Amino acid sequence: MALTSTMYACEIELADVDRGCYGPLEFRMAMHPSESPGYFVARLLAYCLEHDEGIGFSKGVSDPDEPPLFVRDLTGTLTTWIEIGAPDAARLHKASKAANRVAVYTHKDPLGWLRQLEGARVYKPERIQAFAFDREFVEEVVEALDRRMKGSLSVTEGTLYLELNGRTMTGAVEPLVLPIIGN
């Protein structure tokens, strides 16, 4: 018997000072049985940090040809491909060809991932921005996960202040410099 996804209902009041993005976010997310809680939290945080008109979730791990998160314009054109974790150079190449902007949010060891990418050839690497979440912060959020989550997220100078179901957590999201070259 196949396992089913677990649904999470989220209500987050967003105050992203860094991007000038404010307002209430209400969305539902599914955690696939093969998805780690850390990956799920990184996807949740990336959704908030990249929130824009046209943002959405793909079918997830069941559709490896799609990004975990994306932004489409009003015509349906993919404008932003959002990756989670530690995508390889081939995946970044594909993403950069598919969208004018690529954002990667890693919850894993960023140094190990960056070493894997050293010298890789990727289409238009200037389109790619990468960020690393504070791993302890991600683990703290994992412990606070609940099927119904209500809270707030404030972002100031790369520091994340998250209040979730009465629990307050602070962490960081750091920009990374990718060691890739243009193709």
- Is 137 contained in some domain? yes
pLDDT at 43: 97
CATH number at 49 reads 3.10.640.10
For the chain, which residues score pLDDT lower than 70? 1-2, 60-62
The predicted pLDDT at position 34 comes to 87
> DSSP string spanning 81-108?
EEEES---HHHHHHHHHH-SEEEEEE-S
pLDDT, one tens digit per residue, over 115-154 is 999 999 999 999 999 999 999 999 999 999 999 999 999 9
- Residue 74's identity, in one-letter code, is L
pLDDT at 1: 53
Provide the domain limits for residue 91. Answer: 6-182
| Residue closest to 86 by CA, chosen among 47, 49, 127, 115 | 115
pLDDT at 175: 97
Q: Is there a domain that residue 1 lies in?
A: no
Angle at 110 between CA 64 and CA 65, to 5 degrees: 10
**Mean pLDDT for the chain overall:** 94
Domain count of the chain? 1
- pLDDT for the residue numbered 65: 83
**3-class DSSP assignment, residue 25:** strand
Is residue 126 one of the residues assigned to a domain? yes
Q: Would you say residue 57 lies in a domain?
A: yes
Record the pTM: 0.95
Q: How far is residue 70's CA from residue 84's CA, in Å, rounded to a whole number?
A: 11
